[in-house]
Amino acid sequence: MGAHEIRVRLGWVSRQRAYQITSRADFPVPVADLAQGKVWLTEDVEAWMKVHRRDADETEA
């Protein structure tokens, strides 16, 4: 999952907000840092969201 996919999954947050979130100490560590940007495991991001972004899950229901 790249930064764009994370932005979408978080409800279309701004690029700046996505950067702030992915830079948090408690956010999962990226599995790769490619020329196009960092990449995270989807399951790591989803697990983080279940703990820290409960409101995002509620909006999909």
pLDDT digits (tens, 9 = 90+) for 1-59: 999 999 999 999 999 999 999 999 999 999 999 999 999 999 999 999 999 976 554 44
Burial 9-20 (b: 16+ CB within 10 A, else e): bbeebeeeebee
Q: Are strands 37-39 and 32-34 parallel, antiparallel or unpaired?
A: antiparallel
pLDDT at 14: 96
pLDDT at 55: 56
What are the pLDDT digits (tens) for 32-48? Answer: 999 999 999 999 999 99
